[in-house]
Structures are given as C-alpha cells and as structure tokens.
Chain A
C-alpha cells in the first residue's frame, strides 16, 4: 500500500479523520440490510450512535431519524440540515413459487445486468439466497446478446431453506472488505454519507445548529427527505451522498470525457443534477473553502442522478441546497468501490465549509 498522500491542509485545521473506528462503523452499516422502505437495521445503528449526543431526537412517520445538535456560537445561528439516506437498492419478494424459489421485483434503480450470479440475504432473518442463471450450455449465442430479464430471474433459497415471506426484502450479501486505500462493499451509496453524518454529529461545527436527517426511501423517489425538510425547516440543506465514478478507460482508447466523477479526485461538489440546480452561493462557498484549505475537490459533471437535495430545495418556501458526494465505482450493484481518502476529504470539506458559514451568505444575491 502506498503512503497516503495528504493534501496541503494544515493538520491543525483538520477536524475530521477516518481511522479504524470510523471504518468499523462503516463496515457495520454497509453489512446491515436496508432496502428502501425497510431501513430498520440501519436506523437501529444510527440511533445507538447519536442518541447520547442529540439535543432533540425523533423518528418520524416515514421512519426518518431526525436529530438536532444545537451549536454554541452566537445566536442567531444558521439551521443547517444535513441529509444522508439510510436506504439502499435491492429486491422485494413478490411471489412464492414453491421449493424455495421466489420471484422478485427491483426496489430502486437497479441495473438488472448486475443481478445474475449473486448471493442475497432475504428478510429480517437474513436467509441466504442466490440469484442464479441458466447454465451457458443451455443458452444460445443470440440469447446471450440480451440481458436476462428480471422476470426470468429467481431468488433461490434451496428446497430445504428457511421459509421466506412474500413482501420480504432481499439485499446483496457482499461482505465489507478493505482493499488497500479503498473499501469494497454493497450500499456504499449511501452508508458513506450515513457514517459521515454520524461522525459530523459527533464532532459538529459550533457556529450552526446541526439538523441531521438520516432519511428513508431516497432510492424510490426521495420520499424521506421531503418530509424531513418540512419538519426541520432549515435555512440551508446539504445532501451527503455517494455519486458514480464512471472513470474507466474507454474500449476504443478514446479519452473518457463522461466520467461524472473520478476516484481519488476528492469530494464531488454538485453544480446541477437531474433534480436540483445547486444554490450558487453554497456552491461557491464550498469551492472557496476547499481552495482556502488546499483540500482536493472535483465538480461533479452536470446532469443525471439526484440526491435528497432534490426534495429539500423545493420544500416550504424554498431552501438553499447543495449536494456533496463521495465518488464511488459500480454503485447500485453487489459490490462498489470508494477511496477512504476521498471520504475523509469529503467530511473535512463539509466540516470546514459549515464552520465558515455565516448568515450573511444567504443575504447575498444568488
């Protein structure tokens, strides 16, 4: 493993670190299963972690965890909502065909080409299942040119497996793994954000009131963030998420100009995605912060995708919002990869940016 190269940041200014404690929490959270609508396993860990520190804490009607940590700086303090979604993409069992064979539907945007040949965990008891594929010997060359449709795939818990109920969720069974400077896991989108938000909640900037929203149902239409933003009524909303890095070489050797983000490039600051035009004041503020501190950052290529900010910025009379994401490869699949240093730099940037926030920012013209 090569030495971890630090940015030029003055260590005295660094307030967020990723060490083994943070990585163990990330591991626990990634290995927990929380397909949209069934976020209980993650919610339990989140509650355990933040309960002792929260000035106010509640779980709302949809299952969002809303936690407030008051600042100690001079009032009036900005109320800043930080949102990280607890849910992950996965499957729901929709039909029991007998003998341990179950038909499933996708929950969230899943590329069905990522499903064949994967182990899953089904229901609260985490019953092992597999998604197989027809043996290559029984397929034709023309058949192999097409993706295996979801209605031809089944979750198989074996003829003697424990009974699974229709309505149970199935999540990918990939165990969290460290790979040198990287982590490999399912659901890095958005356990990197959830773990990061827990860390920020433990070590909050003092000048603001931190309104943490651990949201549900982001992957099925940004449902949790919408009501969370209404309830918390923040001055500013920031979504902490994980965004795709499409930074692979192109098959014909052409330059990859559509990479979205790159691993190792630092936190990805959003200018616009398909559901939000970032507040330009916040966008500039975080870029200025990164420049001032010498933190690496990248501007996520505009277009596509969406985060909790898509619901937050249109709530009530409008909430200035921004998304900042950790870049990750192969998201929405059984195994994603992210760099630990990108994650640390993301938390460092968010912490530093929040620490430098002043109510005057919102008085400026956009």
Chain B
C-alpha cells in the first residue's frame, strides 16, 4: 500500500500551477502506474488512468475527477531586479507579504514577496494591505543576474514545505486539491482487491482554478455514464464558521444542489449511512465551485456528484487537512464503485 501521507507530502512539494501541471503530473504518473491498466495525458494536460471493470462490453464507466493544478503567481515585469506579479487562480493578496516563493526561471530561484514600506506606497494604501500590483519578489540576486535568469511569464509557486501537525494533520500549499488527488489514489488502491463491474477513469484534471478546461475535455473524451468531482471544501476554523463550513475530520461532505444529480446524491448518502460513515451534507445552492460544473454539461450531459474534503485556510500557503478525511473519501468512492451493477443507469429516470 502507498503511504498516503508521504504521497501527499510529495505532491504538495511539487509545483503544478494551472496550465503547467507537468511536475505534479509526473509524480502522479509514477503513483498511478501500478494501479491503472492504462494511463493517458490529454491535450490540455489532464492525466487519465483507466482501471477496467469486469462487466462485458460495452461497459459503463464512472469518471472520478480531482484537479491537480494549483494557484500561484506569474512574473509580469522586472524592475531594478525585483519582480512584479500577476496571479494564477484566486489569491487574497493579504496572505502574500513575507511569503517564500520559488521563481521558475532559467533555473529555480528562491525568493520572498516584499510588501513595500508604507513610505513607498500611495497615501491611500498606507497602513492597508497593498494590492498585488504593488508587491515585489526579491530573489536576493543583483539586477543583472535577475535579468539573465528571469522573464515575464515565468511561473512562481509557493515554497512552503509540508508541515505535519500532530497525528494525521498536514499543512502546506496546494492541498487544494492534491488532497483529493490522494483520495482518488486511495480509491484506486482499494479497487485492486475488490472486483468492480464498471470501468473506472481516474482523472487528475488540469486548469480547474482558471477555466476548468481539464474537466470539460476529459469528460468529453471519456464520455462516462456517471461523474464525480472530488475537491476540497471550507473547514470550520478561525474566521470561518457559517453554514458553508464543515468540521475537520468529519468529512467527506456530500454536495447537494443544481450541479448535482439528486439520485446520485441519494445513492452516495444511502451508501454512507449503510457503511456507518460520518459524512456531512454540503448545500451548494448555485455553482459548486468544482470540476462538477464542467462535467455536468459535457456533451449531452452527465449525472454528476461532488464529494469534498474539508480544508482550512483555502488558497493560502498554509492550508490544512486531516488524512482521516482523505482516506474516508477514497473509501467511500471505492465502495460506491464496487456496488455499481452493469444496469445501474436504468435507475436514472426522473419520477417527478
């Protein structure tokens, strides 16, 4: 069995910003090789792993999508050896000052994000958090060296190393959504010993944080009968305690709303209850904010589900999850797949 904690630590130590997922994809390729019958990479950079089912052809297929891309930054301009920034994905600039980063130039350079002293900022910003365009990265090198090694368009990822906190808890960057990638890996692992009728397509999707290009295109190429997006959701914690937040260690959550097929939701819920799994209902009244948004409307439409892992401090370099939620999400997916019969889709009719 894979050491899931080690795999997660590896995955969150690798860059893989939206549109540039190769470094994390290579690690995942290695991890999935022994678990999948076939591995493919799509034209937009998603990794597809097929685990064949036992039913006779044409076999139905379920797609499990966990996006592997991460938020980060990009060099927009070089001024006197300092780098100006633009963002990839949604970042609150208030978490950036003093943050360690890796600038992926002609070689990788460690640097720190500087918040200019108030005396260097326009009066209205003094004492306030400067917007992204006022922040600069310093890589500690003389300007001519920076000019030689860095260009606008170079990627910048967070340098924060994984932190193990007590038993089970991990903090670091890109846990959104590498935590879910590990859950899918765990599911594939469990399926090695459990016969399943359906084909299972594990997809580490690309570009979720920007355009969901990965989910749209992988769902089209694979054309599954059912699709599940596995993502992270807000955990309760400092500053986050309303209905949109869920207790760490009590996950996964089961999404419910227009983005989710009601029957598929009920099947997950019934199964979780039958297995005496803790699970939480996550109301998603509009856009689920996950790959499910794309999966659901691919081709002629796909019944779609969202399973989420609670995570604290989302989109900061110190996100936090518990391995317990990751393992439980992986197991729930595996149990769901194992009980799928070849004619399962016959139940999917609207009885209004």
Q: Give me the interface of A with B, judged by CB distance under 8 Å.
A: 1-2, 100-101, 111, 113-114, 116-119, 128-139, 144-148, 152-154, 156-162, 174, 177, 179-184, 244, 246, 248-252, 256, 258, 264, 329-330, 333-335, 337
Contacts and interface: CB of A to CB of B under 8 A. Distances in A.
20 contacts: A2-B142, A2-B145, A117-B95, A118-B99, A131-B318, A132-B239, A133-B313, A135-B313, A135-B315, A136-B314, A137-B234, A138-B240, A138-B242, A156-B237, A177-B110, A179-B110, A181-B140, A246-B117, A249-B136, A258-B120
A251 B126 CA distance: 13
Nearest to A103: B238
Contact of A117 (B145, B166, B317): B317
Nearest to B169: A158
A65 B114 CA distance: 34
Given A147-B127, A248-B116, A116 B316 contact: yes
B249 A159 contact: yes
Interface string B266-308: 0000000000000000000000010000000000000000000
Contact of B171 (A114, A119, A147): A119
A146 B92 CA distance: 12
Contacts of B160: 119
Closest 7 CB pairs of A and B: A179-B140, A132-B313, A182-B140, A160-B166, A117-B95, A135-B314, A158-B169
B166 A144 contact: no
B320 A329 contact: no
B140 A158 contact: no
B167 interface: yes
A96 B169 CA distance: 19
B141 interface: yes
Contact of A162 (B129, B136, B166): B166
A180 B31 CA distance: 35
B79 A152 contact: no
A210 B267 CA distance: 79
Interface string B31-64: 0000000000000000000000000000000000
Given A114-B97, A161-B169, A182-B140, A152 B248 contact: no
Contacts of A131: 318
B238 A334 contact: no
B142 to A, nearest CB: 6
B138 A329 contact: yes
B141 A174 contact: no
A189 to B, nearest CB: 14
A146 B171 contact: no
Contacts of A2: 142, 144-145
A74 B244 CA distance: 77
B112 interface: yes
Given A117-B318, A147-B129, A157-B165, A337 B138 contact: yes
A336 to B, nearest CB: 8
Given A136-B90, A248-B82, A335-B112, A159 B248 contact: yes
B114 A130 contact: no
B100 interface: yes
B168 interface: yes
A333 B116 CA distance: 12
Contact of A130 (B109, B141, B320): B320
A180 B129 contact: no
Contacts of A119: 160, 163, 171, 318
Contacts of A154: 237-238
Given A158-B165, A249-B82, 7 more contacts: A113-B97, A130-B163, A133-B94, A184-B110, A251-B122, A251-B133, A335-B100
A165 B258 CA distance: 47
B220 interface: no
A72 B165 CA distance: 54
A182 B109 CA distance: 12
Contacts of A177: 110
Given A147-B128, A158-B166, A118 B239 contact: no
Nearest to B289: A137
Contacts of B317: 117
Given A134-B240, A161-B169, A118 B140 contact: no
A137 to B, nearest CB: 7
B19 interface: no
A160 B322 CA distance: 10
Nearest to A146: B128
A113 B129 contact: yes
B115 interface: yes
A256 B97 contact: no
Given A101-B238, A154-B238, A337-B138, A116 B94 contact: yes
Contact of B94 (A113, A129, A158, A174): A113
Contacts of A174: 100
Contacts of B92: 133, 136, 139, 144
A179 B166 contact: no
Nearest to A335: B112
Contacts of B240: 134-135, 138
Contacts of A114: 97-98, 115
B318 A134 contact: no
Interface string B307-346: 0000011111111101000000000000000000000000
A251 B130 CA distance: 11
Interface in B84-137: 90-100, 109-112, 114-117, 119-122, 127-129, 133-134, 136
B204 interface: no
B139 interface: yes
B145 A180 contact: yes
B3 interface: no
B90 A137 contact: yes
A251 B95 contact: no
A184 B122 CA distance: 28
A185 to B, nearest CB: 10
B166 A137 contact: no
A354 to B, nearest CB: 30
